[in-house]
Amino acid sequence: MLFSSITFLFMFLPATLLLYYISPDKIKNIVLLICSLLFYAWGEPRYVIVMFVMVCIGYGMGRLTDIQKKKQNKTGARVVLVCTIIVDIGVLFFFKYMGFFASNIKNLAGIDLKLPKLSLPLGISFYTFQLLSYNIDVYRGTIAVQKNIRKLFTYITLFPQLIAGPIVRYDAVCAQLDRRIVDTESFGEGAKRFIIGLAKKVLLANMAGEIHDMIIKTADAHSTILLMWIGSFAFTVQIYFDFSGYSDMAIGLGRMFGFTFPENFEYPYISKSITEFWRRWHITLSSWFRDYVYIPLGGNRGSVIMTLRNLFVVWLLTGLWHGAAWNFVLWGLYYFVLLVFEKFILGTCMNKVPKILSHIYTMFFVNLGWVLFSYESLSELKNAIFGMFGGGNRSFCNDYTLYIIRSYAGFFIIAMIASTPLMKRLFSNVRETTVKSRSKIRDFIVVSWMIFLLIVSTATLASESFNPFLYFRF
């Protein structure tokens, strides 16, 4: 069930909110747990048991780790943690990577493992990382073990962040599992954040996706260099508003139920370096790999060779986390090369380059990176990149390309503005002005704008069938 669906907006969410708010405080977690399981089962009924077993294992291993630590048995605690990591990663590998592994074994060695074809359980990459961080933090002693299995289940299965993040660590919500207060202001802020995310997904991401698909389908007949770049830019727009919109909806829903989830995007397309881009894009994933892979490996505390090794491992895993295909491996290593280049070669020179040039440099390589990301077929990927740089005797522009530009230039301008903090600053200025004048103009403007976005988004959903979510496959 997508957040951006009529079923969720007008059936599941209202019913869940009603049940939650009429329930006594002592059973609110139970209501959330039941509703979250129903939400997951709506799309993946057969894989609820997988999530159930993984949470039970995580709970049991956490208790065992805590027991060993209280006995001051460091070796025992370490063994339990290693076993936990092996089980969690093993389950993830089985569902997400076994087919990829088997196909490569067949291609390289001619051995057909004849594995059953299994669909990828929704959200398994996200809740596996949350379980891993919980057990690792229990081992490190940075959080107390959760002795109430129902609360751990509630944490893992919370439907706002279950399927596509953000990756919410246990320490961020452990206190809120015991006590949280939702007042009118926080509920309103959550609803506003949800509507903004919905509009980003429905009005911007879906439109960009349609443009991208249209260009891909007509590429052979009307292909030009400029058209290929417009198509890649459309995907760049789509994936940002698709994922950041979904994260906004998740954070907003969390607020509506009393939870504060971490931010996942901070206007990454205004970045002036690749390093800055990754501080702003999918923040919870980047920080997860930093805290649980990069730093434990040694970070940048050793020699240059060791730092390069650590970065290589992190970006190889980052690529694989996004999907079991070679294009994702290439995408991860592509960013490894760029970040190493910035860190060890460009260095402080980046600060001396005019901001507009550093921004163009960043977006050029980010856009090119999304081309790697969007084609799982290596042959199609090769043809796309080849075409973008003039291969195949393509002309630079033609009448069809000009038609596409005329038709969608306005949309792309709106999307570019929406990917910056300009609108946020505008509303902040309105707020400061109206607070000083003690008027209700600002509230009226904000509420009217939210109602407008909700109506337009809902009408668009009702009238179109194109409503994919890219990160469901991860």
Return the active site residues.
322
Counting Cα atoms < 13 Å in the Cβ hemisphere of 49 gives 2
Enter the DSSP assignment of 262.
Answer: P
Burial 91-113 (b: 16+ CB within 10 A, else e): bbeebbeebbeeeeeeeeeeeee
Query: Per the structure block, which two tokens stand in for 437?
Result: 């004048």
Question: Which helix (DSSP H) or strand (DSSP E) does residue 365 occupy?
Answer: helix 355-374
Query: Per the structure block, which two tokens stand in for 164?
Result: 């596509």
For residues 374 and 235, is the Cβ–Cβ distance under 8 A? yes
CA distances from 405 to 78, 363, 388, 401, 408 (A): 59, 19, 17, 6, 5
CA distances from 151 to 146, 148, 303, 442 (A): 8, 6, 43, 39
Contacts of 443 (CB under 8 A, 6+ apart): 434
Contacts of 315 (CB under 8 A, 6+ apart): 332, 333, 335, 336, 339
Q: How many residues does the chain have?
A: 474
Peptide bond into 354 cis (omega under 30): no
Q: How far apart are CA 320 and CA 326, in angstroms?
A: 8
For residues 466 and 10, is the Cβ–Cβ distance under 8 A? no
Q: Which of 352, 317, 354, 353 is nearest to 335 (CA)?
A: 317
Counting Cα atoms < 13 Å in the Cβ hemisphere of 376 gives 7
Q: Which of 285, 236, 23 is nearest to 132 (CA)?
A: 285
Q: Where are the alpha helices (DSSP H) in 200-302?
A: 206-222, 225-256, 274-280, 283-289, 295-297
> Helix, strand or coil for residue 396?
coil
